[in-house]
Amino acid sequence: MFKEHIDENKEQIIKDLIELVKIRSVASHKKPNMPFGEEVHKSLRFVLDKAKDMGFKSQSFCGYCGQVDAGCGDYTIGVLCHVDVNEEGAGWTKPPFSGEIYDGK
């Protein structure tokens, strides 16, 4: 069932990942409700908005983190992840935030 969903939505998943990769989500100067700066906030909002578009309940906690809920019941499973990145540094052979696909990768 999960594999079929991935196969059916592969192109959109790739488009969404490219859009997310293009956000240079390196921490910068704090702003109201953006404790890690505008770009980190932008990446968090991107993920939370995507989840909401997919029918999940999503919320931000003052820009520090977000939560996406699916279903209901007596048990909760937590999956932790992050969408911010470190400074890109030197040594890249391609622009790290271009979102371009090279050689099918």
Q: What is the mean pLDDT of each run of 10 residues along the chain (105 residues)?
A: 91 96 96 96 97 94 94 85 93 93 88
Range of the domain at 46: 2-69
Q: Specify if 89 maps to a domain.
A: no
pLDDT at 36: 97
At residue 69's C-alpha, the angle toward residues 14 and 51, to 5°, is: 25
Which residues 6+ apart lie within 8 Å of 82 measured at CB? none
pLDDT at 90: 94
pLDDT at 8: 96
pLDDT at 27: 96
Separate counts of helices (H) and strands (E) for the chain: 3, 2
**Exposed / middle / buried, residue 44 (Cβ in 10 Å: 0-12, 13-18, 19+):** buried
Tokens 């099918």, residue located: 104
How many domains does the chain divide into? Answer: 1
Q: What is the pTM of this model?
A: 0.88
Q: Specify if 9 maps to a domain.
A: yes
CB 40 within 8 A of CB 62: no
Q: Specify if 94 maps to a domain.
A: no
Q: Specify if 87 maps to a domain.
A: no
pLDDT at 93: 92
